[in-house]
Each structure stands twice: as structure tokens, then as C-alpha cells.
Amino acid sequence: MLPYVTRRQRLAEAMRAQGGGVAVAFTAPEVIRNRDSEYPYRWDSYFYYLTGFPEPESAIVLVADGDAGESILFCRDRNEERETWDGFRFGPEAARERFGFDRSLPFASLDEELPKLLADRPTLWYALGSDEALDARVHRWLGAVRAQARAGVAAPARAFDLRAVLDEMRLVKDQHEIATMRRAAQISAAAHVRAMRATRPGCHEYEIEAELLHEFRRNGSQSPAYGSIVAGGRNACVLHYRTNDARLADGELLLIDAGCELDGYASDITRTFPVGGRFSGPQRTLYEIVLGAQRAAIDATRPGARFIEPHEAAVRVLAQGMIDCGLLAGSLDGVIESGAYRRFYMHRTSHWLGMDVHDCGDYREPGAPAPAAATPAGAAEPAAATQPAAPAGSGRPWRVLAPGMVLTVEPGIYVRAADDVPAAYRDIGIRIEDDALVTASGCEIITIDAPRSVDDIEALMRG
């Protein structure tokens, strides 16, 4: 059975547990880049998770009634002229067969069909508050149903945010997802190895970025999972550095945060290494602190642990290292309690990873489903290294890690030049990031093929 069919069945079961109803999800629209040129198309992750369908102008409707149910795909009709210009379209009938739907109808009929499907159904599930145009469309559907009230037809009395249910489903990956993410991680690790081998003093950051993109694409990846960060020297102290145009100098470190997307799933790796092939003494000191922090965080990434525990383990190692090398003064507990370490380490150690590089899923234990429009946790952050602090005042405990969850482990140290900073450490930025799949006994680092020890990196670059 297609994994998408299984997911639709699971969603229908979750809907029935809340009284059933109708769920609607749209894919992403095509977006104009400039004039009549469009950005490369990328579907909506929620929609693709349920359908596997790659075309724009499409929507899925899932009906859950008692023990009965129906899955309906709305998609574009076949069009010989447009297919001549833009390429193949499945059309409703072929799409129904290929992607395992009960029915498939032309996308143009959606507004006509939805009031019929919503009639006498208790609940509407959709992405509440995500888009004004979608909200207006839903209001029109409900208005068309309410107009039949004198005929005894009732409109849904409740609306639930569909994303809240799908976030929970997407948080634990199935075997199809895990296999895809392992392959994406292998491709990205190979790209980092290629970048290390290509780096030399005098080349530009964008030349190394080109090496990454070449390796992604030649191995079947459709695109980068996010904008690659290729940051030499002091640029590595800018967490979301994007310019990628500076010339690399001997004696600097190069921080690369880059990962590919494969069949809709992201990878996310950061490596930091010397442009000239050898770490200086101060660079090595800070690098070993970060690597030790990552190892501690990986050891804490295991089933039954709370999401915050890898971060806490990393912070203790980082803070002690900052004290030992003179970046901070005071006791370990004092530096942690005061937050002084945040001057040099200002982001969290982990975020969820999946179809989105900052994947959906609450970082705290979920409460009961509620008919409210809420932004999914993790969805608002840019696709890079940082993750925001927990919501202020949240009384819910941190999420318990379970097998099948995938998260990054990415401690770092970023030392901007300042008069009170030891000169040897100024303008050094280091991050080491890997992707961890939680298993029954601990975690599997699926990005392990990219070297991260000082000796392994220096040996690779000498070779």
C-alpha cells in the first residue's frame, strides 16, 4: 500500500476520534519570480505528506463519517496545449489510480463540490488562519451550506486546525520517510566532503557553494533544503549569513551549513574546517569544545529523554569550555544560571527535521485539540541553524523523545571581536551539526559520513 494511503487512513481515524467531519488541504501555489518567470515549483508539505501528488492547483478532501470515509483529489484536467509548453499532467482519472484515491475531480469544480461535501457534517478541518484567501473561500462554502437551512441542511458547527493533527503524525517518521532521509543525509555528507576537498586559500565562498550544489544534483536531489551558508572567517559569526561572496584566506575557518532536499525530505549538516587544511591552536581549542558539546548532546538523545536534555548537556560542556579558555569568568553553574554563555552560544541545540528543515511538531507535550488557529511550532523560524527559545510561561513539559523522531544536534561557539575577548579567539565561528534519528536504544547519526574530528578533517584535506 502507498504510504500516502496509510497516512490518509490514520488521519481519518484521528478525525473520527473527534467526531468526524471533512478535512481540506491545498497544495502551494506557483509563484512568479519576476515578469513571466516562475520560481521552481515546490508543493506544500502537508498536502504532499497526504498525497504524494506533485502538481500545483490541487487539493485533497478527506471525509470521515462513522466507519465510512472517502478520499477525493481535486487536480487539473489534461490539456494538450499546456502540456506542450509546461509538461505532463496526470489529469483526474490517472491521478486517482496512481495515488490511490477513491475519487478524483477537476480542480475547477472544487467550489461547487465543497458545499455538498460539508452539508450535515459536524466539523471542518483545515489550516485555520494560514491564508486570508483560504479563510474567505471557506466562508463562502459555509455560507452556501447555511443558505440551505430552511431545507433542513446544517453546516459544520466546529472548525479544527488540521495542522495540529498532521504535526503529530509527521513528528514520528515511517519507514518510507526514514529511508528517504537516510539517502538525503548520505548525499549531503558527500557534498560536504567534496567541499572540504575543493577548499583552498584564494577561492570564493560561492565557488565552494557551487561544489555543494553540484554534488546534490548529480546524486538525484531536486534542490537544496534551504539556502546554503558558506561563511569564511568572521562571516561564520553571522548565524544566517547568506551572501557567500567573500574570498577565503589562509588561516581562516570555513563554516558550511548546507543540506539537500530529496523527494520532499530535508537534510541539515554543518561542518567547520580550516581553509588552509590545518587548525591553529586557538581554533582547535574552540573546535574541540564544540565537538565535545555535540558528543554530550548526542549521548543525551535517546528514547525517554526530554527534548531539552541534549541542549542542556551541550550547554554544560560549552559553558565550561568558555570558562577554561578565558572567554567567560565565574563558576559553571553561575555562568549557566545567568545566561552569560549566550553571548557566544545564542541558539538551541536541536530542531525537528523532516519534510521541512525546521519541521513541524510541538517541542512540548501537546494539550487537547482545540478549535483555534495556531502557528505550528518551529514553522516560523528561517531554515538555518537557530531555533527560538521555548514559549515564555509555558507550563507544559518538554516533549519526550521517541523512536522515529528526527532532530538536529548542532552546538556552536561564535566569538565576535571585542576588547574584552582574548585576541586569539576573535572572529572565530564554529558549528558542528548532524541529523539524529531516535532509535529504540539511543540514536543513529544519519549524517555520519561527513568527517567531524580534527584529525579526520585535516587528513581529508591533505589527501
Query: Would you please indicate which residues are annotated as catalytic (active-site) residues?
Result: 36, 240, 257, 268, 347, 351, 358, 410, 414, 431, 433
Compute the CA torsion angle 315, 318, 323, 328 (nearest 10 deg): -70
Q: Which residues contact 229 (CB under 8 A, 6 or more apart)?
A: 240, 241, 242, 244, 255, 256, 257, 258, 270, 384, 385
Q: How far apart are CA 230 and CA 258, in angstroms?
A: 8
In contact, 259 and 224? CB cutoff 8 Å = yes
In contact, 95 and 53? CB cutoff 8 Å = yes
Instruction: Kindly state the helix (H) or strand (E) to which residue 95 belongs, with its residue range.
Output: helix 91-99
Q: How far apart are CA 205 and CA 198, in angstroms?
A: 11
Name the DSSP class of 394.
Answer: -
In contact, 413 and 239? CB cutoff 8 Å = no
User: For 64, phi and psi rounded to 5 degrees?
Assistant: -125, 105
Map residue 161 onto helix, strand or coil: strand
Could you count the other beta carbons within 10 Å of the beta carbon of residue 143? 11
Residue with grid cell 478541518, as numbered in its chain: 125
Tell the burial category of 227 from Cβ atoms under 10 Å away from its Cβ (0-12, 13-18, 19+): middle
